[in-house]
Chain A
């Protein structure tokens, strides 16, 4: 399951779609947090490659597909 992500990963989150389930903050707490009202905050939009597995779990588990990942390597 180890994966090296791209060095230029960009993480964005759609706060309008967010329902505050907090799956992302469980999967990748170094990258995601919640604001006082319980909605997603991207703490680190350019996380290092070591976060890639956790990020993919966050994208996979978001119940409303509110997280987007981009980068030049596919990290697979």
Chain B
């Protein structure tokens, strides 16, 4: 086994860097990817961590039990200052290792099974139709982020969680403020309001019947002592954040990608059977979370002729692994004709996205309905002028606004 001396920070460009095109990697990541499957980047606090751009190498590491997702470990890397806040460190499901992770995942899997998701199809279709109706009634123009991409997933999550209808307006407003906040205090305030709300609802549901995930877990798991009330509130918040921002951004950036590829959009409009393949290619290209995982090695791990040492941070780049030339031909091209579904946008290993079946359903219905009912939809400003997330907010990609007409 060959080992290499770690390169100094001069060889490690800063991470994260902004995308120029909303569905393509920044040029600096492309350069790193061209050097090999493993390279190094520097984080805001000066720490140098591994940057994994190869698809098989990223999969190997994400499946390795010697790699930890535990955000409470002192050596866990923070990719943005806000992740250093104590409140960000105890993150159920996403930021935990087995066995706690596995216990929570087991509790949640039934709510995201294919059967449960299939039963939501008419609900999701009605929500999407409702928002298209409103756009057609009040526009053109419209803001596709405000009027469609953000509210659709928020309504779907409120169904999954089982929120009362009279709370929808508060929930949508607070979720939007949480995700679109441009300052730390703004996002903290919205987060506090949502936690307070979910806390009160989870308390009420212990004794009062109610639908959805919160009702079921409150009665079956919290009331019987198998799950703590605090963990239920955390679980609800994690599902909200993980399922809302990612889906909303994929709808917005996916629509931009389709509008940039009118031939493939026309084919999707003419052949509804191709929508699932279009969604897979959008997931591969857009990779809204940018990273398939942030991890720390708990032992020395050999990979691709190098050794990741215990205690070293590891960023797994979905954006780059999805464009591995060893896996995909012409990997930069948006091509809905691809097969094999090899992409890491939902991650890999035990943490692979819990809600991926629901996400696929939402995306399929959102794109097919939007472009069938508003076939002439188009942006009123060039895609590269759309306001993106403020630098330093993290790695989730997205646009804050998307003015459209038809």
B-contacting residues of A (Cβ < 8 Å)?
1, 19-23, 25-27, 33-39, 57, 60-61, 63-65
Contacts and interface: CB of A to CB of B under 8 A. Distances in A.
Nearest to A27: B341
B105 interface: yes
Those 6 A-B pairs whose CB atoms lie nearest each other, nearest first: A38-B113, A38-B109, A63-B352, A20-B109, A37-B110, A21-B352
B113 A37 contact: yes
A63 B63 CA distance: 7
B223 interface: no
Given A22-B357, A36-B110, A36-B115, A64 B350 contact: yes
Interface string B353-373: 110110010000000000000
Contacts, number: 58
Contacts of A38: 109-110, 112-114, 116
B341 A39 contact: no
B115 A34 contact: yes
A10 B115 CA distance: 25
Interface residues of B, number: 25
Interface in B56-110: 62-63, 105, 109-110
A26 B114 CA distance: 10
B340 A57 contact: yes
A31 B298 CA distance: 37
Given A1-B339, A57-B341, A64-B63, A19 B113 contact: no
A64 B354 CA distance: 13
A60 B350 CA distance: 15
Contacts of A27: 341
26 contacts: A19-B352, A21-B346, A21-B352, A21-B353, A21-B356, A22-B113, A22-B114, A22-B356, A23-B341, A26-B341, A34-B114, A35-B113, A36-B113, A36-B115, A37-B109, A38-B110, A38-B112, A38-B114, A60-B340, A61-B342, A63-B63, A63-B348, A63-B349, A63-B350, A63-B352, A64-B349
